[in-house]
């Protein structure tokens, strides 16, 4: 078996125990069903992109998109804890390159995002109206990958630099909620959205992932996707560069 695949397997095996998996699944399922169906009783249906939509159909693609934060935060956590438990140094003394380790972190987080997204789609399907094409699936795939690379790289940079457990958890939890709630996961960003919130949403890469995936679900994709994807390619490139810089600075190394 290829080295990177073995490392990826190890990351997933060591990071995802039953408790973590349950949390990763139950939290978004809770949002989807509780928020989606409960709010549905006060927001019957509303006009979005020219058609009438139930609230649960509106937030389902948002919850799917939100899975990029799950995958991303897992990878950051793995790096942080490998540093802490000595596994990083041990793995570096084994027949793997440092690039392979970081690559397998990226692959592992994308796989976790996909796993989460698939579960959310399956849970949501009985409750939502969905009109996705093969091209739409391709778009969902691209958005999930780019979104995971963006947020995963932020988390990897955090994992590489932060030392204490508390600091890592606090920052990652705060980021998790701020990012989710300043994006278009739970509400559309329209001309009526308060200015600061609209600004925050515009600067938040998750918004582009959500809007892109929502478009794919409702078969309303169009030229806007080019813009969304360009933004996400840029953010993933920037944050991957930062992640790689902080990764190289992890302290084992003597000066040469």
Partner 1 sequence: MNSIEVSDLKVSYDGKKYVVDGLSFDVEEGEIFGFLGPNGAGKTTTIRVLTTLIKPTQGTVNVLGMDVTKRGLEIRKRIGVILQQPSYEWNLSVEKNMYIYATLWNIPRSQVKKRIDELIEKFDLAEIRKVSAADISIGQRRRLQLVRELIHDSELLFLDEPTIGLDPIARKNLLTYFKSLAKDGTTIFFTTHNLEEADFLCDRVGIINHGRLYAIDSIDNLKATYEGDRTIEVLVNKAPERLAEKLKSRLVGAVVDGTFNKESPIKIVTNKVPDAMEIINEYIKEEGDSLLWLNIKKTELEDVFFKVVGEQQNE
**Which of these segments, 44-52, 83-91, 117-125, 197-205, binds partner 1 (CB under 8 A)?**
83-91
Name the minimum Å distance from CB 111 to partner 1: 16
Judged by CB under 8 A, the residue of 42, 47, 94, 191 near partner 1 is: 94
Tell me which of 47, 166, 191, 253 binds partner 1, using CB under 8 A: 253
Toward partner 1, which CB reaches closer, 111 or 242? 111
Write down the least CB distance from residue 138 to partner 1, Å. 33
Query: What is the Cα–Cα distance from 146 to 184, expressed in whole angstroms?
Result: 17
Give Dmax over CA atoms of the chain in angstroms: 65
Of 21, 65, 17, 245, the closest CA to residue 153 belongs to 245
Task: Using the rule CB under 8 A, give the single segment among 35-43, 94-102, 130-138, 171-179 that binds partner 1.
Answer: 94-102
CB of 94 to partner 1, least distance (A): 6
Q: For residue 1, give the H/E element and its range.
A: none
Q: Which of 26, 37, 89, 173 binds partner 1 (CB under 8 A)?
A: 89
Which of the stretches 1-9, 62-70, 158-166, 196-204 binds partner 1 when contact is defined by CB under 8 A?
1-9
Q: Please choose, from the candidates 173, 222, 11, 217, the residue with its C-alpha nearest in 3D space to the C-alpha of residue 106.
A: 11
Distance (Å, whole) CA 25 – CA 212: 22
Contact in structure between 242 and 157 (CB atoms under 8 Å): yes
**Does residue 199 bind partner 1 (CB under 8 A)?**
no
In the complex, the smallest distance separating the C-beta of residue 55 from partner 1, rounded to whole angstroms, is: 38
Burial 131-160 (b: 16+ CB within 10 A, else e): ebeeebeebbebbbbbbbbbbbbbbbbbbb
Q: Are 54 and 128 in contact (CB under 8 A)?
A: yes
Q: Which residues have a Cβ under 8 Å from the Cβ of 162 and sit 6 or more positions away? A: 80, 168, 171
Helix H or strand E encompassing 145: helix 134-161
Per-residue contact track with partner 1, 119 to 158, x per CB under 8 A? ----------------------------------------
- Told to check if 22 binds partner 1 by CB under 8 A, we report no
> Is residue 45 at the binding interface for partner 1, with CB under 8 A as the rule?
no
User: From start to end of 45-192, where are the E strands?
Assistant: 45-48, 51-54
Give the binding site for partner 1 (CB under 8 A): 1, 3, 6-7, 9-10, 13-14, 17, 81, 85-87, 89-97, 252-256
């Amino acid at each position: 078996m290829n080295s990177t695949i073995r490392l990826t397997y190890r990351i997933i095996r060591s990071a995802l125990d039953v408790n973590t998996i349950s949390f990763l699944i139950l939290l978004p399922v809770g949002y989807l069903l509780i928020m989606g169906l409960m709010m549905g009783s006060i927001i019957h249906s509303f006009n979005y992109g020219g058609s009438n939509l139930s609230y649960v159909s509106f937030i389902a693609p948002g919850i799917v998109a939100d899975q990029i934060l799950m995958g991303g935060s897992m990878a950051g956590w793995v790096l942080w804890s490998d540093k802490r438990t000595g596994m990083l140094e041990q793995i570096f003394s084994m027949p793997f390159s440092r690039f392979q380790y970081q690559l397998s972190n990226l692959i592992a987080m994308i796989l976790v995002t996909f796993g989460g997204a698939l579960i959310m789609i399956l849970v949501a399907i009985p409750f939502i109206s969905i009109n996705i094409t093969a091209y739409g699936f391709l778009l969902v795939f691209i958005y999930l990958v780019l979104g995971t690379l963006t947020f995963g790289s932020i988390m990897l940079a955090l994992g590489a630099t932060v030392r204490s457990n508390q600091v890592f958890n606090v920052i990652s939890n705060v980021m998790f909620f701020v990012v989710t709630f300043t994006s278009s996961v739970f509400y559309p960003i329209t001309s009526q959205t308060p200015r600061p919130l609209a600004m925050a949403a515009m600067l938040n890469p998750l918004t582009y992932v959500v809007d892109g995936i929502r478009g794919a679900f409702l078969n309303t994709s169009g030229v806007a996707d080019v813009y969304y994807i360009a933004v996400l390619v840029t953010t993933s490139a920037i944050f991957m560069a930062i992640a790689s810089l902080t990764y190289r600075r992890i302290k084992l190394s003597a000066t040469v």
